[in-house]
Structure 1
Amino acid sequence: MNKQSISKLNLFLIGLKNRFEENLDIFKGITVIYKAGLKNFKGIGTYDSGKIKFNFNGKTESLSIDELVDKLCSDAINYDSVTLTYSERGTDILIEADNKNVKMKNIDIKEEENDNDSTNETSTLLNRNYLIKVGKADKLLKEIGIMSKEGKIKNDKIRKYNQIDHYVELFDEMLNKLPKNQTLNILDCGCGKSYLSFVLNYYLREVKKIRCHFIGLDYKESVIETSQKIAENLGYRNMEFHAVDIKNYIPKNKINVVMSLHACDTATDMALALGIKLSSDAIVAVPCCHRELLSQYSYEPFKTILKHGVFKARMADILTDGMRSLLLEAKGYDVSVVEYISPLETPKNLMIRAVKIKEENEDAMSEYFSLMSSLNVFPALYNYINQWE
């Protein structure tokens, strides 16, 4: 290739260098094909602890991005043309260069064709346009056990697939209320095997092209190890996991979103309290069992109704999540409560979404204190907030 084309190629590669440094967490690899006459010579680069492990002509080197740019340009001198594909999660960048021209374009990764009967049946059955799409998200869905190795949604995972996709849909509705043009730090409290974090990570980075970093917390070492392994298999380097009690966690950076899915009883309150303590921009919780207020509350006007245990238990559920929502409002959050999934699947189907809009709401706080007195309760969320402040 001539010097003019090499010079232009170098400019494009410097742009990729800047992109590599900015988007290191989603870099997948580089493929280079040099052409001389009718022969092709292929080089492959993969991520290697902040560098790129590059194999070409039988030799493998671990190179910094600067060293790789220099090498690619110096090697190109010896060939007629070069085609380079720079791959990130969700996007490929293609550079084609020869003696006449050098051009670059972005290529969004298209969905794969998937004509298997199970997939078509699943889509018809659930009657929804998925955000986490079969085809494009196959690697993710297989790794978290939703899809079989053959590319079919497992029959016993259809419900879970529907649930996580609807969660993403509800989460997506908040995105325009979160900070723009920065990395979103998302904390998953009681993460378990972190399936929801993996799905959100995929959606934010590969579909919405939003920079994000996920932190998963769980006190069980075994599930943290499982999450770390899944992240490694998927190449999701923008994730970290810690075996730690929620109340003992101290973040290194500003937390934008605190989320909790089906954390049992007062573990949900711990997650909400942590979000409030950290002044996170948003808090999302799908509570699970509610036991705490059931043994505490009493309300004389409803005495004859609450003598029936099933009514008292259901009222305890409503009071627990209602008072959680009110306290979030008192702490300056705009709160919405929606059905996460159909009540036919589980009665624990409410999602609490809270977005920070101001510092405090004194009227809501007064209402909260009044309810505590009227119901003779001392909720765990209020207790945790006072302990941690």
Structure 2
Amino acid sequence: MNKSSVDKLSFFFMGLENRFSENRDVFESIEIQFKAGLKTFKGIGILNEAETISYNFNGATRLLPFSKVLEDVLKEASNYEELQLSYKERGTKLIISATKKGVTMNTEELKFETKEDQKDTSTLLNRDYLIKAKDAGKLLKAIGIMSKDGKIRNDKIRKYNQIDHYVELLEKNFESMKKQGTLYIVDVGCGKSYLSFVLNYYLTEVKRMKCHFIGIDISPQVIESSRQIQKELGYRNMEFHAMDVKDFKDERKIDVVLSLHACDTATDMALAFGVYKEADFIVAVPCCHKEMLKTYSYKPFEGIMKHGILKARLADTLTDGLRGLMLEEHGYDVSIVEYISPLETPKNLMIRAYRKDSPNEASKENADQLISEFGIYPAFRYFLDQYTYGLSDGMDDLL
């Protein structure tokens, strides 16, 4: 390869080094192929746990910084007629080709090959999926929705439809949050973090947004399960902590707080955490509601609430309604929508709260009036008071 092409290659490598520095979390590998006559010489570099590149070329493996790998490739280039370098990130591949005629660069999306007959699965909905099986196969296999042979499992089709609809409901909110820096997302009571893995895939590989997920759950077992899936997928932009969210201390700006199917007042703890951290976007899918059922009363409704099932349903509605009002009180624009069909589960509401600049005094007055008339002290308000004015041992009684 002549000096002119090597000089141009050096210019391209400067941009590649900057890209690696900015996108290290989504880097997968760098593959090199040199040609001299009919002979081909290959090399590959993979990021290891020590955050250096394990680079193998000509039978020798060395641990090098990424910049040194590029220096090595550039030094070798003059000894060969052609070079093809593939720089792989999650969901995309950048290809640099160099010959004596010049240097070119192209980008292509990485696809996951599925079975041809996948489209004939009659129980899949007739919809344009955001989490497409043909692209997201590695993810769908890791979370158990796709079988090893690349087909959506029949017993997981409903789950597949649910997670895709979940992303659909949040897509516009995340689209409005595109920015230069990294989006920090905390999943409170994350469990096995399936929906965080799905959102991670969608934001990173489809929307090309920089994001970092923090999963928090009190159970060490489910945290370990999440870490195993993370390792299998190679999602370095995630971290998991086995702890109570009230003990989570972090100076990073939290942009998004998720809470999915957190039981009873655990949802309120997540909402309070989000408000206290001034998260731009809070999403909660509540699970069971027990707190208000045990404490509220309202004389005009005595004739209705003597029926236990009606008292429970009213408590559910009041709990989520008050959560919405108190989020508005603290400056959030709130929508409460049906997450999935009530035929799937009666616990099917999603609370979405997008932060605005100013609190809503009318919502505060409305919430205060309801709290007074029903004789309750909502866990959401209690937890937020504790975050604001200091934690106390009494907080544990509501968890």
TM-score by length of 2: 0.95
Q: CA–CA distance in 1 between the matches of 2:58 and 2:178?
A: 46
Deviations 1:145-201 (A, max 9, x none): 111111111122111111111111111121233252221000000001111111000
1:232 positional shift: 1.2
Number of the residue aligned with 2:175: 176
Deviations 1:189-225 (A, max 9, x none): 0001111111000000000000000000001111111
Are the equivalent residues in 2 in contact too, given 1:14–1:69 (CA < 8 A)? Answer: no
Quick one: which amino acid aligns to residue 189 of structure 1?
V
Are the equivalent residues in 1 in contact too, given 2:114–2:133 (CA < 8 A)? Answer: no
1:111 positional shift: 5.1
Which structure 2 residue ranges, 5 or more long, are not aligned?
389-399
Number of the residue aligned with 1:44: 44
Q: CA–CA distance in 1 between the matches of 2:311 and 2:246?
A: 30
**Higher mean displacement: 280-289 or 165-174:** 165-174
Are the equivalent residues in 2 in contact too, given 1:286–1:351 (CA < 8 A)? Answer: yes
Are the equivalent residues in 2 in contact too, given 1:93–1:107 (CA < 8 A)? Answer: yes
1:36 positional shift: 0.5
Number of the residue aligned with 1:74: 75
Q: CA–CA distance in 1 between the matches of 2:330 and 2:67?
A: 48
Number of the residue aligned with 2:87: 86
SS at match of 1:125: coil
Are the equivalent residues in 1 in contact too, given 2:115–2:149 (CA < 8 A)? Answer: no
1:261 positional shift: 0.4
Number of the residue aligned with 1:186: 185
Q: CA–CA distance in 2 between the matches of 1:138 and 1:272?
A: 33
Number of the residue aligned with 2:18: 18
Are the structure 2 counterparts of residues 179 and 362 from structure 1 closer, same or farther at C-alpha, using a change threshold of 3 Å? farther
Q: CA–CA distance in 2 between the matches of 1:217 and 1:172?
A: 23
Number of the residue aligned with 1:60: 61
Q: CA–CA distance in 1 between the matches of 2:246 and 2:327?
A: 18
Identity %: 56
Deviations 1:210-267 (A, max 9, x none): 0000000001111111111111111100000001101111123000000010000000
Give 1:217-228 correspondences, 5 Å limit.
217-228=216-227
Quick one: which amino acid aligns to residue 57 of structure 1?
N
Quick one: which amino acid aligns to residue 101 of structure 2?
K
Matched, 1:30 2:30: yes
Deviations 1:312-342 (A, max 9, x none): 1111110000000000000000000111111
SS at match of 2:212: strand
Q: CA–CA distance in 2 between the matches of 1:97 and 1:283?
A: 48
SS at match of 1:187: strand
Number of the residue aligned with 1:317: 316
Are the equivalent residues in 1 in contact too, given 2:188–2:245 (CA < 8 A)? Answer: yes
Number of the residue aligned with 1:98: 99
1:378 positional shift: 1.1
Q: CA–CA distance in 1 between the matches of 2:250 and 2:343?
A: 38
Number of the residue aligned with 2:393: none
Give 1:369-388 correspondences, 5 Å limit.
369-388=368-387
**Higher mean displacement: 301-310 or 237-246:** 301-310
Number of the residue aligned with 2:330: 331
Quick one: which amino acid aligns to residue 58 of structure 1?
G
1:293 positional shift: 0.6
Give 1:248-263 correspondences, 5 Å limit.
248-263=247-262
1:114 positional shift: 2.9
Are the equivalent residues in 2 in contact too, given 1:178–1:282 (CA < 8 A)? Answer: no
Give 1:90-239 correspondences, 5 Å limit.
90-110=91-111, 112-117=113-118, 120-121=120-121, 125-178=124-177, 180-239=179-238
Quick one: which amino acid aligns to residue 212 of structure 1?
C
Are the equivalent residues in 1 in contact too, given 2:330–2:358 (CA < 8 A)? Answer: yes
1:356 positional shift: 0.5
Quick one: which amino acid aligns to residue 326 of structure 1?
L
Quick one: which amino acid aligns to residue 100 of structure 2?
N
Q: CA–CA distance in 1 between the matches of 2:9 and 2:124?
A: 50
Number of the residue aligned with 2:397: none
Q: CA–CA distance in 2 between the matches of 1:304 and 1:344?
A: 29
Quick one: which amino acid aligns to residue 76 of structure 1?
A
1:135 positional shift: 1.6
Deviations 1:266-287 (A, max 9, x none): 0000000000110000100000
Which structure 1 residue ranges, 5 or more long, are not aligned?
none
Q: CA–CA distance in 2 between the matches of 1:251 and 1:269?
A: 20
Are the equivalent residues in 2 in contact too, given 1:24–1:50 (CA < 8 A)? Answer: no
1:127 positional shift: 2.2
SS at match of 1:46: strand
Quick one: which amino acid aligns to residue 363 of structure 1?
A
Are the equivalent residues in 2 in contact too, given 1:33–1:41 (CA < 8 A)? Answer: yes
Number of the residue aligned with 2:2: 2
